[in-house]
Amino acid sequence: MSEREKMIKGEEYFPQDFELTQDRIKAKIICTKYNSLSPEQKEEKYKILKSLFGKIGDDCVVEPNFFCDYGYNIEFDGFVYINHNSVFLDCAKISIGHGTFIGPNCGFYTPTHPLEYEKRITGVEIAKPIKIGQGVWIGGNVTILAGVTIGDRAVIGAGSVVTKDIPNDVVAVGNPCKVIKKIANSQSK
């Protein structure tokens, strides 16, 4: 089994493997090209994102600068808006639901490293997927860690660090991010 297959299956893998290194270089070249385009080059920007992402909905907006590790593990289910300076470490799948808005300077980090020093210095990683529901609003400077699911219509306050799952229809804030109130949505009744 290749290191890429191990990575995608959520098993231990070595990110410095030749194939994975080449995949990251390709994604970074594409991101550099994307980030250099003028704002009015909407069609060219969409074509680049379509070639980079595993799945992208119509009319998605990804403001520059945007960075990712691979791109092929990123899936947008419909319209998604990503503000400036987002980083997607997509060693595992990052899926984002329709109607989601993400503020500037947000990070989505799927890889994890062993706690044990001896194992960590070997370079081995494990990646866990991130899933963002539909109609979510993520404020600026939010960090979302490996294995987290954020429920539909949730609001994540600016500056939060999301380390655990967040349910549907809530406002959650802080470091670590915690639910502070329920949102009364007609769809949740």
Per annotation, catalytic residue among 113, 119, 120, 182: 113
Q: Do residues 73 and 91 make contact, with C-beta atoms less than 8 angstroms apart?
A: yes
Burial of 79 (0-12, 13-18, 19+ CB in 10 A): middle
Give 188's DSSP letter: G
Taking alpha carbons only, the member of 144, 143, 132, 128 closest to residue 168 is 132
**CA pair distance 30, 8, nearest whole angstrom:** 21
113 tagged catalytic: yes
Give 189's DSSP letter: -
Q: Which two tokens stand for residue 1?
A: 């089994």
Task: Give the long-range contacts of residues 89-93, CB within 8 A, separation 24 or more.
Answer: 91/7, 91/15, 91/125, 91/127, 92/7, 92/8, 92/10, 92/127, 92/128, 92/129, 92/130, 92/146, 93/8, 93/54, 93/129, 93/130, 93/131
Active site residues: 113
